A and B are shown apart, each in its own frame.
Chain A
């Protein structure tokens, strides 16, 4: 295969090789390699699987076996510029998370997992995001959006479609925070405790 046909750029290859000294086997670099490729291409096509396997001295089927276990990695085409994970587990469902997901998908014209026609936004359901004090919540990129309502979800969709791939600022989308405890900045009680 000539260099011109390769999917993994030299930068990606170098980033993957940086992980080699951390583990006694190359196979352990499989997930880090998948993430490196996915973060740059927004998917991991089969051709990339073959090249990762070559780097890791594995059979392509071994890398594909691992990849296909995690529903996280798309292979057919890139996900949207923004990939939004709306939690559907119990704490968020109890506070309206499913309605938020439904309204956002309706606003975007997609089903969960699909990408808008302009390629700007993919909305996915997530299982518990581990931010239940901010339910219903959503993760996009590095930003956790808190205390959402269907209307705030629609606003998020509108801003994504009007934007150019940046996640909207958190403060524009968050609903009023009701969480307590020391972890919530500005929370009155030191340990949430009221006698």
Chain B
């Protein structure tokens, strides 16, 4: 495999990469200046639409289309919310971009706001990223001082304020309408869609919510053009006119049982196995992989035989995973118990469920109770079918919840049990030899706290 020359990570690792001087010395903000001088906002939207850029936050929605949904001739104000709440387990690429190349992020935000006519952008930043906060704020201050932010940027009739808004350690604030509710100062309970944020978002005004890496892709598309962006990745399926393809570079996070965890850049379509072997130094301790999370824990699991699945927007779905998600790969070696894996997953989602929708609130809590009981040697074979039933019935895909957190909670359960059923059954039989065949309902214990 020929080494890929990083674009999104090009500045990362260089001393002072987070400063305006270093960024401009290598051509930074040239793209933005050109856009402001030569293009109308509508032309910028067309440019991003033509690139087929798909959002990098997890859902992969075409970015140009999302901008296009904003109502034309709205009196405004229109708001841009940048989702820097990165909390999907296994994911850390946004952190690296914000810490080591904040100007690439900000340039993309400014271009995006110019295109969407937003005059205020809020970067919703998770509280657990203090260095990102300091670096972003310092970079924003540099831009105000240089007339690249604030009133009449570069003497044009385009004004923009960018504010950092810090979260408080809640995963659901990474959901676009949960983010909006939290930004408004309320409990981060996601909203039902429609209305979509483009029509009625934050403060009841048209809003676009975009991811940090997406903003950086906008920067590079403005600088290098659509042809460059579409020269890499996986082309759209010619038999499917609605397939936008998977174009452009992607930041892949690699962690878990590998020799060299880290954030690596390659075109969309890299396989899991290539990421592990060519970038990550292979599975650690001379062991073999048993399974891998393909895109953050909510995407589910690839079994070892599925590691040649390409990591593009269409690949993981073909082997029963929820999707590409954040392309954060977490490797589990052959010594990992799938019961332990699933317990960790269920514990996370039960903790993070906002509690608004009954199937998620009850389903995630119940799954954790069952995994606790299974781990404690009181599991039944029937539990596996119950877990699958919970997994198949909670979520926006079955249509029973307001947001996708429950789909994310369901997929690890469904993949782990369906792909590793034998191991779960063997564990239950071995640890509960006298009770594994029970089917009567388990009486609820007076458990005061799960977490």
Residues of A within 8 A of B (CB): 22-25, 27-32, 34-35, 56, 62, 65-66, 69-73, 85, 88-91, 93-95, 126-135, 139, 141-142, 144, 178-185, 187, 190-195
The reply to whether B186 and A65 form a contact with Cβ atoms under 8 Å apart is: yes
Bound complex: CA of A91 vs CA of B262, how far in Å?
Answer: 12
Stretch at the interface among B127-135, B147-155, B225-233, B380-388: B127-135
The reply to whether A130 and B128 form a contact with Cβ atoms under 8 Å apart is: yes
CB pairs A–B below 8 angstroms (27 shown): A29-B185, A30-B186, A31-B182, A32-B165, A34-B168, A90-B297, A90-B341, A94-B336, A95-B256, A127-B171, A128-B87, A130-B86, A130-B126, A135-B261, A144-B131, A179-B261, A180-B261, A181-B260, A182-B263, A185-B13, A190-B3, A192-B262, A193-B4, A194-B278, A194-B281, A195-B2, A195-B278
The reply to whether B92 and A130 form a contact with Cβ atoms under 8 Å apart is: yes
Q: Which residues of A contact B254 (CB under 8 A)?
A: 133
The reply to whether A183 and B12 form a contact with Cβ atoms under 8 Å apart is: yes
B335 to chain A, nearest CB (A): 10
The reply to whether B90 and A128 form a contact with Cβ atoms under 8 Å apart is: yes
Stretch at the interface among B59-67, B344-352, B364-372, B429-437: B344-352
The reply to whether B3 and A27 form a contact with Cβ atoms under 8 Å apart is: no
Q: Which residues of B contact A133 (CB under 8 A)?
A: 92, 253-255, 261-263
The reply to whether A85 and B128 form a contact with Cβ atoms under 8 Å apart is: yes
B96 contacts chain A at the CB level, 8 A cutoff: yes
Residues of B within 8 A of A (CB): 1-6, 9, 12-13, 77, 86-92, 94-96, 99-100, 126-131, 134, 161, 163, 165-171, 182-188, 203, 253-257, 259-266, 278-281, 293, 297, 328, 330, 332, 336, 340-341, 344-345, 347-348, 351-352, 354
Most chain-B CB neighbours within 10 Å: which of A32, A130, A193? A130
The reply to whether A128 and B88 form a contact with Cβ atoms under 8 Å apart is: yes
The reply to whether A130 and B91 form a contact with Cβ atoms under 8 Å apart is: yes
Instruction: Tell whether A179 pairs with B91 under 8 Å between CB atoms, given A90-B344, A193-B278.
Output: no
Q: Which residues of A contact B128 (CB under 8 A)?
A: 85, 126, 129-130, 139
The reply to whether A182 and B6 form a contact with Cβ atoms under 8 Å apart is: yes
Instruction: Tell whether A183 pairs with B87 under 8 Å between CB atoms, given A91-B256, A133-B253.
Output: no
Q: Which residues of A contact B184 (CB under 8 A)?
A: 25, 27-28
Instruction: Tell whether A195 pairs with B86 under 8 Å between CB atoms, given A142-B130, A182-B9, A190-B6.
Output: no
A173 to chain B, nearest CB (A): 17
A66 to chain B, nearest CB (A): 6
A68 to chain B, nearest CB (A): 8
Q: Which residues of A contact B336 (CB under 8 A)?
A: 94
Number of A-B contacts (CB under 8 A): 206
Q: Which residues of B contact A135 (CB under 8 A)?
A: 255-256, 261
A123 to chain B, nearest CB (A): 15
A136 to chain B, nearest CB (A): 11
The reply to whether A180 and B91 form a contact with Cβ atoms under 8 Å apart is: no
Bound complex: CA of A171 vs CA of B183, how far in Å?
Answer: 36
The reply to whether B170 and A70 form a contact with Cβ atoms under 8 Å apart is: yes
Instruction: Tell whether A180 pairs with B183 under 8 Å between CB atoms, given A90-B297, A94-B336, A126-B169.
Output: no
A57 to chain B, nearest CB (A): 12
Choose among A32, A73, A192 the residue that contacts B166 (Cβ–Cβ < 8 A): A32
B130 to chain A, nearest CB (A): 4
10 closest residue pairs by CB, A with B? A181-B262, A30-B185, A132-B255, A180-B260, A27-B185, A70-B168, A91-B255, A142-B130, A69-B187, A128-B89
Most chain-A CB neighbours within 10 Å: which of B86, B256, B266, B347? B256
B282 to chain A, nearest CB (A): 10
Q: Which residues of B contact A132 (CB under 8 A)?
A: 89-92, 253, 255-256, 261, 328, 330
Bound complex: CA of A195 vs CA of B1, how far in Å?
Answer: 6
Bound complex: CA of A158 vs CA of B443, how far in Å?
Answer: 43
Q: Which residues of B contact A56 (CB under 8 A)?
A: 185
Choose among B6, B168, B255 the residue that contacts A31 (Cβ–Cβ < 8 A): B168
Most chain-A CB neighbours within 10 Å: which of B9, B127, B344? B344
Bound complex: CA of A193 vs CA of B357, how far in Å?
Answer: 44
Q: Which residues of A contact B260 (CB under 8 A)?
A: 178-181, 192
Q: What 16 additional pairs, Cβ within 8 angstroms, besides A65-B187, A134-B261, A181-B260?
A: A28-B184, A29-B185, A31-B182, A35-B127, A72-B168, A90-B89, A128-B87, A130-B92, A130-B94, A130-B129, A132-B261, A133-B92, A135-B255, A142-B134, A180-B279, A182-B9
